[in-house]
Structure 1
Amino acid sequence: MKNNKLAILIQLVIILFGFADISAQNPIIRNQFSADPTARVFGDKIYLYPSHDILGKEGQGRPEWFCMEDYHVFSSSNLTDWTDHGVILNQTKVKWADSTAFSMWAPDCISKNGKYYFYFPAPPKGAKGFSVGVAVANNPFGPFIPQPKQIDKVSGIDPNVFIDKDGQAYLYWSAGNFMVAKLKSNMVELASEPQIIANLPEKGLKEGPFLFERKGVYYLTFPHVENKIERLEYAMGPSPMGPFKMAGVIMDESPVGCWTNHHSIINFKKQWYLFYHSNDLSPKFDKNRSVRIDSLFFNADGTIRKVTPTFRGVGLTDASKQIQIDRYSRISDKGVSVSFIDTLNTFAGWKTVFNEKNAWVQYNKVDFGKKKYKSVIIKAISQKGGILQLKLNSANGPILAKINLPESKEWKETKVLISGLKQGSHNLFLSSENSNIVEVDWIKFE
């Protein structure tokens, strides 16, 4: 009963203080920097436990390096709308940790016996390197209470926990090599001596182990620097402790040069997803990163198909909400580009700029449901006025609307009537009908 009352109280606090709802595609978190995402399915929701990048400065971490002082948790029931439940743990609340280190790096969270165990690395007071601690809660969004001591015999970063079908829990972490040990049923102590996981690449940095099981096969996945920056790789084995055999690459090196990548893999409603990060909101400084999601698929032999990062990401977008077409599914070869609305505040997002006739973008998976929408609203700027055409599904699809934009030097919302819209889920195809420059922020339907 006490736990239920606490859960209700926390939810009331969330409502009263207005923790952010974030509706977006890649990157999925737009109100702060986020990295190293561990996603977990608890009940009918996904809970996301990333690390939290902030900008380091004198007296606050190390300038020009990774700077992290706390952890947030986010949740979603549809992979599109994410709720930020606020800070669940701060470096000042951990007795054994250096409260001035700003090094709360990649975490994990797991559920067992009605409790939630949050594992995190941090530099201990008066010692070098990292230790791993545990904070415990009765709910996936906290409050998490850190244990008074770190886990004995665990020195390293990037803790990951896996619970096998027989109930045995395993802790993995990175310490140059990957280490593994069994956990006791209390989930805060080791039940076996740590051992090195063999048969993995010996050259180049490897970190961020994440283990999952599918059809009796255990997949050990991790970032690895084979060349200059990290890519996501994996090995396969018959048990949680191996032996593992290298199997391939999940995701190639970042096309925009983000030096790190860090990930997790989950199965949600019969579809597998890869959570990872890039430097979308900080293209010139890759120590401020942002979480992304893309779908993941397997070959018939159990190997993983390589994932290509996308802007569109996953999930359905509600037609009545702002549709960010800059997170496109497809884009024409010329005549259209994407840039920040405000380069001094990248959290304001992006805009799509048309500057040639017949330039286009396509945005997939918009959910119109069973509603009868009558109009479309577009937020845009066009100093000379512009004409856009909105179609369903493709360049040859039914025309929903022809949008005549007035001359303007400021953002304006223009509403036009639509016709020919069918219920259900559709792709949107937006094209320019002349060569006047048109900048589009978003569209939505009413």
Structure 2
Amino acid sequence: MGVAGAPGDDPRPYFFLSYAHIPKSDPKDANPNVWVERFYRDLCEHLMNLTSLPDGASPGFMDRQMKPGEPWPVELSKALAHCRVFVPLYAPRYFLSEQCGREWFAFSRRAAHSRALNSNNSSSASAIVPALWVPVPVKQLPRQAERLQFANEEFGEDYAAEGFYGLIKLRYLRDEYERAVYHLAKRIKEVAEMTQIADGDAEQDYHSVPTGFGPPGGKRRMDISVLACSRSELPTGRSPDCYGAHPREWNPYHPESSRPLADHAADLVRNLDYQVSVGEFEADADRMLPKGPPVTPGMLLLDHWALSTARGAELLGKLTAENRPWISVMVPWNRADPDAALQEDAMRATIQTDLAPRPGDEGGHCSPSGGVPTLQAFSQELPVAVKAAARHYDRHAQTYPPDGGGGSKPQVLPSGVGYGSGIPARETKSNAEKAEGSLRDREP
């Protein structure tokens, strides 16, 4: 897979501009996104001057540059798989857009995968360079957006107060606009040349990519727990290559991956706008398996080799003793592991029997009986597991109304609404219709 390199030797776009389309109030109105397009052209012009890109190369990607008749989901997937920097254009509308959330998560997942391939490359975490189009209150930002620096001092005080839209529209701030665009171009160039992000899957199904934005002001949580061996407690015949001093250090996709799987999973879940707790099931079982309603949705990363020990089998028995569909179970099974064939039949039997829902039970998410064969397959399956756990949690959790709400009787949250939901609570029918309109708006 290709990575960003020295100036002039990488033909990939320097940046992908992610922005929320402004709908027309009337079909006869002029293009309401004309100022974003102007901003994009100015940014590209600066980058052409700052870099040694060859003639004909485009320094950036914006969906409006696609030609009529081109399959826009395919082109977006290609651009997200190959761009070197992701530039989200912050505005209140941006964080309400399903399409912008998809673009953000697609790039973030690619960056997380790149970190897993090379854990020494922490710089890939900074390959998102926000640009402020319209000022957004911090409380409206998703967690992953809040963590990024977007009010850069070198862009000027007027930029922080007005954003690029204010600078470009107010004539007396035109010089400040030129200054801010130039410094953003320099920042994109610097980040592109110092990061090492591997190319992503250019053929991914764009429509299957989840949004990375939760409900505004939401405090969604997800528990990730590991049931795995440690290097000092391995079954007879099991190689120690995938293990560390503690179960949490389990890395089933070694040597392709250089990070513990729990750390990679936590990155992906955070990019879905969750607050994440990561631990070991030995210590987490009592908290994650309470009597009565669930406390939080969860995910169990299961090392089948751990079930060869009496303690591992006992812990799995605690999980399966009751129907708990709000805990998704993922079973990595690296077929490139020389020891995989020794336990594959037993692993399949466990998934098909012990982890299968009993008659009448509400089935939660569990990996297919063949396990999850690769790191990339794990990254693709994880959002499905998160959504399932959140959906079942919402169905089973109890909440109490605020004071004056008619008493303290527990109420069951409706599916897909509220705390922990995989579907933002704001997504009403009218908003769903708006989302559909946004999809049509993406077509050139």
State if a TM-score over 0.5 links the two structures.
no
TM-score normalised by L of structure 2: 0.28
Question: Which structure: greater helix fraction?
Answer: 2
Structure with the higher fraction of residues in strand conformation: 1
